[in-house]
Structure 1
Amino acid sequence: MKKFLLVLLASLMLYACEEEKKEDLNFTNYNIEKAYEKCDPETGNCTFVNINFPVAKGNEAVAKKINDSVEQHIIQIVAGFNPDDNPKTMEEMVDGFIANYASYREDFPDTDIPWEATVFAEITSGSPKLLSIDFNSYTFTGGAHGYGSNTYMNFNPETGEVYTHKDLFTAEFKDFVEKDFRNKEDIPQDENINSTGMFFENDEFHLPANIGFRDDKLILTYNPYEIAAYAEGQKTYEYGLEEISEYLKIDFSATE
């Protein structure tokens, strides 16, 4: 009888594990807002933070990995401008941003230029093999202008791990993009990549850090300052997945 109970318990545990593996991820949107002295951002003269992002639910272990990665990425976007800040949570980050502005106002009481930090994160592509999230952000903490950017995170929805470029693309993909980049930016194929004024480090082309998926397209984004002057703005290049299928390591036709 005792042996039977042990076998039954083991079977139930195995079944529970299998059910957890099969449990689908689902997402809800979450919003965090805070304003300096409860001012109204709609007035246009208000320091505020507004963060909107998806929160994963379902498979607990996978959801936690995704949520932790998303949280740390947003913290880096907003708090990265101040190396003295080291918030552990988004709530700490938001409070710190407002507190830094309050301190700034104390040091410069005659200045009332408001600060701003906004992040809108959305799922732009989802399949059994890949989950892509686009973080559209803008921060302003004084100076001549703010900084807007699009950054991406690509997840393995089965494990919650973040894909690297090497996980997603073959080595030949870089050569394909460089040739197309030179054509679109009027840089001769046999000239130095920086010959027309680009800022590539060590005079060598590199893929952008920010590559994401949106529906049936691949998006490559160089944000301001990454390869060109701020005045050049953001440089974005799109490719249909069919066009680059030979360079992809993930089978987007998979349904399970």
Structure 2
Amino acid sequence: MNHKFFLFLFLVVLIGCNNKKEISFETLTISTEKEINKPLVVVNVPKAIKETKVAAAINKVIKDKIISLLIFDDEVVVDNIDDAISSLNEEFLSVKEKLPGDATRWEVTIDGEVAYETDKIITIDLETYEFTGGAHGYESSILLNFDAVKGELIPNEELFASKEAFYNLAEATFRAQEKIPTDVPINDTGFMFEEEVFTLPDNIGYTKTGLRLLYNTYEVGSYADGQIEVLLPYAEVNKMLAIKGKEKE
């Protein structure tokens, strides 16, 4: 009986290990650095390497984000990165032909990393820079939260167990960080929230130390303000989250 029991236990453990959702990443690298008279495109982002539906779903979202950053003309429809780069090249050459005196090379760089990973959620941070002429380029961050079991992108509204409580904490923390008194409008010190109402940013993501709220340049301030970031420690915010965060030990 003992031998049968231990055999049964071994099979249960073995099956459990085989069914465990594990995602491994490598780096997808793309560079047009050596291609003269064309825009500079440099991409270094995570790529899920296991041949699973979860990995494929994550890779598709990242691919689509890269394509959206490379497409200069919103009417152009492509489904792969190479065609997106070709489209960018064509737009650059068209502008260069119309304005031969403006020879400044266009540039798109995308650097990504796995910022946070557990058996329930994976957060990928894409740091981007775009220059397509003008006085300066534009830097932005894109935070992507994935369901680690399904591979699906989690909408921001599904991150919260108690959105109202989270919203109140986020506004109080933002005001304290930016030295905005609680008894004045949110734009009193120069911010540009629509209709004088605090709003959560488009980019919210898990990190090793807390939940990151990131307002990209121009989202609520001027170019000079740059990116504005608020970090909420998990000790304060976990009770409001649908998926609790774990601090790095």
- Which category describes the TM-score, using the shorter chain as reference length? 0.7 to 0.9
Counterpart amino acid of residue 73 in structure 1: K
**Residue range with higher mean Cα deviation, 64-73 or 94-103:** 94-103
Q: How many residues align?
A: 230
Answer whether contact 2:38 2:105 (CA < 8 A) is retained.
yes
Secondary structure, counterpart of 1:138 in structure 2:
strand
Give 1:18 deviation, angstroms: 8.5
Find the counterpart in structure 2 of residue 144 from structure 1: 135
- TM-score (norm. length: structure 1): 0.83
* Separation in structure 1 between the aligned mates of residue 182 and residue 51 of structure 2, nearest angstrom: 48
The residue correspondences of 1:1-256 to structure 2 (distance < 5 A) are: 21-35=19-33, 38-39=35-36, 47-58=39-50, 60-79=52-71, 81-169=72-160, 170-171=162-163, 172-252=165-245
Secondary structure, counterpart of 2:46 in structure 1:
strand
| CA shift digits 1:89-133 (9 cap, x unpaired) | 111111211221112111122221111000001101110011000
CA gap of 1:23–1:178, structure 2 versus 1, over 3 A, is closer
- TM-score (norm. length: structure 2): 0.85
Find the counterpart in structure 2 of residue 14 from structure 1: none
Give 1:19 deviation, angstroms: 8.3
* Separation in structure 2 between the aligned mates of residue 23 and residue 222 of structure 1, nearest angstrom: 32
Q: CA RMSD in A?
A: 2.2
CA gap of 1:46–1:61, structure 2 versus 1, over 3 A, is closer
CA gap of 1:217–1:38, structure 2 versus 1, over 3 A, is same
**Residue range with higher mean Cα deviation, 125-134 or 234-243:** 234-243
Secondary structure, counterpart of 2:93 in structure 1:
helix
Answer whether contact 1:23 1:58 (CA < 8 A) is retained.
no
* Separation in structure 2 between the aligned mates of residue 182 and residue 242 of structure 1, nearest angstrom: 19
- Of all paired residues, the percent bearing the same amino acid is 32
Name structure 2 gaps, 5 residues minimum: 1-14
* Separation in structure 2 between the aligned mates of residue 195 and residue 251 of structure 1, nearest angstrom: 34
